[in-house]
Each structure stands twice: as C-alpha cells, then as structure tokens.
C-alpha cells in the first residue's frame, strides 16, 4: 500500500512538474503536450507537462483531425497496463482515495452500484467520441464535451488554480464554471462516503482501459490451479468487481494478501 501511494504521488508531481506556472497563472507550453500521460490530468493545469488522453482525443475529433497518435498511445497504455493506470497513475484517483479516509459512514458496493458502473461506458461513447465527431461533421467544428461539461479533474487542476492566479479570469467566470464547480463539489462530498465514486461510475478513461483489462500485460493475475473460489478477494475489494481482473479491477493488489490459497499475484505474461 505504501509503495502504491508513493507511485501515485510521484505521478501527480511528474505530470505537473512545471510548477512556476501555478504562480503566474500561465498554462505550460511543454512540447510533450503533443502526447499524453496515462492518467486523467488536465491539459490546462498550469503545471501540466503533457496532455490528458481524454481531452486530446476529444479535441482531435472535434477538429476533424484523425486521432492516430493519441489513439496509438491510448492503446499502448491499455494493452500494457489496463486499469493499473487507474490504481497507480491517476492523480484524481489518489485524491478520491484520500477523501475516502475521512471518518464517516461508508456506502457499501452492491449489485446496484455494479449496474451504475455502466454509466461511464455511455459517457465514453457519447460525450467523448460521438458528440465531438457529430458536431464537427454537422458544423465543421466541435467541442470536448466531457471536458467542458463534466470533468471534475479539469475544474480542480486547471479552473480553480487559473482563477486564483489571474483576477481577470475571475471576472469572466460564468454559469458554466459554476456548474463545473458544483460537479466537483458533489464528487468531493460523495468521495468521502463512496470509494472512488468518479472512477467507478463516471470516468470514461477508466471505461476505456477496462475494456482491455483482462488482456493487459501488467496487473493482478489468478493462478487457476490454486484458486478455491472462496470469494474472499472479491469481498475485500471496494471496487465493483465480480472477479479479479474484470473490467472494474484497478489492480491495486489489496486482494493478494486476502487469498488463503496464494492464487493471486502480480504477473507479466
């Protein structure tokens, strides 16, 4: 657990290493923004050295550019890491886990929360892919709809720091920013009671990686010959998994120590 928390923290710092911009209110012009980092990290965060994969994909589709580069990078992350990205390399995932540590009554997972996980697949299909592309085809230009109307990471990492650093921007903030601030506030509050609420139910990036989870090179693997199907691994997990390494597993590894038959471990095929 300590090692995973260290990797999460280092990822946050490396993604946003252009720290001087937090004081000036400028957005980093790093040449690495032609590519993207694995986890959710806003392009417009003052310190961001690279792009967010979701934002880069939406922008390409909205501008009518074939997203070959970003799609290739995303597929590389997906087939090598799957949702290990969510468990180890996503700053917003770290923020939610820390919020969940606040003492409170916790909402347990259930068959209902498992059904709610399907929402993020709909958001991936509609807001990230279909609407930006449809808008471009209809009007010659589109927009990154998920980034503009939903993404709480963008509000936390970019919107709030930029407004704090630049008084002119504060005067220009309108209803859309207030909406996004409300979305962020709701996610923050819910994260205290519900484990990784955004990751589980709303994150299209997690949805995409989840599609490749079972075949990813790195992750938690089951040694079937040693598995007694006792179910302790799934019972311990706070994510909405039905089996280890299914689409909702973030490969955090907490289940490994719960297995009485030592059937679980981290593997590379």
Which residue among 213, 239, 260 closes a domain?
213
Report the distance separating Cα 173 and Cα 115, nearest Å.
36
Contact 57, 67 (CB under 8 A): yes
Identify the residue whose tokens are 């923020």. Answer: 95
| 260 lies in the same domain as 194 | no
Contact 36, 70 (CB under 8 A): yes
Q: Quote the pLDDT of residue 25.
A: 87
Domain residues for the domain of 52 are: 2-213
| 146 lies in the same domain as 99 | yes
Structure tokens at 199: 């990751």
Strand segments, DSSP code E, in the chain are: 218-222, 264-268
Query: What percent helix, strand, coil does the chain show, rounded to 5?
Result: 60, 5, 35
| 138 lies in the same domain as 74 | yes
Which residue among 170, 185, 213 closes a domain?
213
Q: Quote the pLDDT of residue 174.
A: 84
Neighbours of 9 (CB within 10 A): 12
| 139 lies in the same domain as 46 | yes
Report the distance separating Cα 7 and Cα 11, nearest Å.
6
| 187 lies in the same domain as 259 | no
| 156 lies in the same domain as 81 | yes
Report the distance separating Cα 37 and Cα 51, nearest Å.
6
Please give the chain's pLDDT, 269 residues, in tens. 679 999 999 999 999 999 999 988 899 999 999 999 999 999 999 999 999 999 999 999 999 999 999 999 999 999 999 999 999 999 999 999 999 999 999 999 999 999 999 999 999 999 999 999 999 999 999 999 999 999 999 999 999 999 988 887 777 778 999 999 999 999 999 999 999 999 999 999 999 999 999 899 999 989 888 999 999 999 989 999 999 999 999 999 999 989 998 999 987 53
Phi first, then psi: what are they for 267, rounded to 5°? -135, 160
Q: Quote the pLDDT of residue 268.
A: 52
| 253 lies in the same domain as 141 | no
Contact 89, 218 (CB under 8 A): no
| 8 lies in the same domain as 141 | yes
| 146 lies in the same domain as 264 | no
Q: Quote the pLDDT of residue 151.
A: 97
| 126 lies in the same domain as 229 | no
Work out how many domains the chain is built from and give that number: 2
Report the distance separating Cα 10 and Cα 7, nearest Å.
5
Which residue among 173, 197, 213 closes a domain?
213
Contact 264, 214 (CB under 8 A): no
Cα dist. 162→26, 28, 45, 51, 269 in Å?
Answer: 8, 12, 8, 17, 44
| 225 lies in the same domain as 114 | no
Domain of residue 262, CATH code: 3.30.70
Q: Distance of alpha carbon 112 from its chain centroid, rounded? A: 22
pTM score of the predicted model: 0.94
| 170 lies in the same domain as 254 | no
């Amino acid at each position: 657990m300590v090692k995973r928390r260290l990797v999460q923290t280092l990822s946050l710092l490396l993604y946003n290493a252009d720290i001087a911009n937090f004081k000036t209110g400028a957005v980093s012009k790093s040449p690495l923004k032609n590519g993207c980092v694995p986890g959710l990290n806003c392009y417009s965060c003052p310190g961001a050295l690279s792009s967010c994969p979701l934002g880069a994909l939406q922008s390409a589709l909205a501008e009518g550019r074939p997203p070959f580069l970003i799609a290739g990078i995303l597929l590389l992350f997906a087939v090598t890491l799957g949702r290990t990205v969510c468990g180890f390399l996503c700053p917003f995932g770290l923020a939610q886990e820390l919020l969940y540590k606040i003492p409170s009554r916790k909402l347990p997972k259930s068959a209902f929360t498992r059904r709610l996980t399907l929402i993020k697949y709909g958001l991936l299909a509609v807001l990230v892919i279909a609407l930006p592309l449809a808008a471009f085809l209809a009007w010659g230009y589109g927009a990154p709809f998920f980034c503009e109307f939903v993404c709480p990471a963008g509000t936390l990492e970019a919107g709030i720091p930029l407004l704090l650093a630049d008084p002119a921007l504060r005067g220009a903030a309108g209803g859309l920013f207030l909406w996004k601030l409300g979305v962020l506030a709701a996610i923050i509050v819910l994260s205290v009671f519900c484990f990784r609420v955004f990751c589980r139910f709303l994150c299209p990036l997690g949805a995409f990686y989840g599609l490749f989870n079972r075949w990813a090179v790195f992750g938690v693997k089951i040694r079937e010959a040693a598995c007694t199907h006792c179910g302790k691994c799934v019972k311990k997990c706070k994510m909405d998994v039905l089996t280890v390494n299914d689409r909702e597993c973030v490969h955090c590894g907490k289940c490994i120590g719960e297995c009485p038959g030592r059937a679980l471990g981290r593997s590379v095929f």
